[in-house]
Structures are given as structure tokens and as C-alpha cells.
Amino acid sequence: MRKRKNQMSKEETKKPNKVKRKGALVALEYEVGMLGSLANVLATDNQGEGVIHNALLESFLIHARILIEFLYKNEAYRDTVIASQYFTDSQNILPPKTKLLEETAKDAHKYLAHLTYTRTRLEGKKQWLYIKIANDIKAVLQVFYKNLPDDFNTKSKI
């Protein structure tokens, strides 16, 4: 079977080269910045319900979901960036996923990615704890950045 032009091999999927991984840290910073900014806007949102509030909520949940997946996904799918790609196989440096992050990932998946019956349960009834979710994610990211190998050292904004 021929490999498509943009398809990565299994080895590349597990551990892309250092240049790619360094570049991905820039995208990670964008995700972190958006998550924090949206959490603050939503926590002080005077818009109430409506299209603007919903767009802000959906954006927040997308960024939260991306970061939770980055931190806790065990295997990358194609070109997905995951935290474990920055460490040796024997390292397990991140704390366990909190119950809030587990629920957020599951609920965001059902709320955003698919039209589900679960979504109807969540719409208008779910209390999203924006600041708490962002803080839980940032706490894990601090551990990630603290333990990054020296050759990936960045000036994290966390």
C-alpha cells in the first residue's frame, strides 16, 4: 500500500522530529491563550444567552477539548500533537485527569462534535465552570512545561 503525500508513518505519528515538536509548542501557546481569554470573557459575560454567548461557549469548549486531548491522549492520530511525544516512553510526568476535566472532555465532545441526545440534556442546563476548567488545564500544563527537556525550553505564558 502506498503512503499518501501528507500521511505520516506510524513512527512519525508517535514521535515527530524535534523541529515539528518545537513548532507545535507555538500552536499550544495559542490554544492556552484562547482558553484563558475566553474563560475570563465568559465568566464576566453580560450577553446572557444568544448567538454571541453560544459562539463564545463553543469556542471555549473547543480549546478546552483540544488541550485536554493534548495532555491526556495516549496515542496520536495521524498528525495530532500530544504531550507524551515530548518525553521518553517511560516518563509519566502529568497528574491524573481531574473529574472536572474528564466530564468537560466528554460533555464537550457530545455538545460540539455530534448531534446527540446527550446534547439536548446539556443545552441550557449545564453549568460550565469556565475559570475552574481553565485553571485545571493550566495546572497540568505547568507540570508539562516544567518537565520539558531543555532543548524544548520555551518562555511559557502560563
pLDDT (tens digit per residue) in 61-108: 999 999 999 999 988 777 899 999 988 876 778 999 999 999 999 988
The residue segments making up the domain with residue 66 are: 16-148
Determine, yes or no, domain membership for 153: no
Cα-based torsion angle of the residue sequence 5, 7, 13, 19 in order, rounded to the nearest 10 degrees = 30
Tell me the pLDDT tens digit for each residue of 30-67: 999 999 999 999 998 776 678 888 899 999 999 999 99
- CA–CA gap between residue 48 and residue 42 (Å, rounded): 10
Determine, yes or no, domain membership for 33: yes
Q: What is the mean pLDDT of the chain?
A: 84
Determine, yes or no, domain membership for 94: yes
Look up the pTM and report it. 0.83
Residue 128 above 90 pLDDT?
no
Query: Which residue type sits at 8?
Result: M
Determine, yes or no, domain membership for 10: no
Determine, yes or no, domain membership for 82: yes
Determine, yes or no, domain membership for 5: no
Helix (H, G, I), strand (E, B) or coil at 62: helix
Number of domains in the chain: 1
Tell me the pLDDT tens digit for each residue of 8-24: 444 445 578 888 889 99
Determine, yes or no, domain membership for 1: no
Per the CB < 8 A criterion, the answer to whether 140 and 71 are in contact is yes
Determine, yes or no, domain membership for 6: no
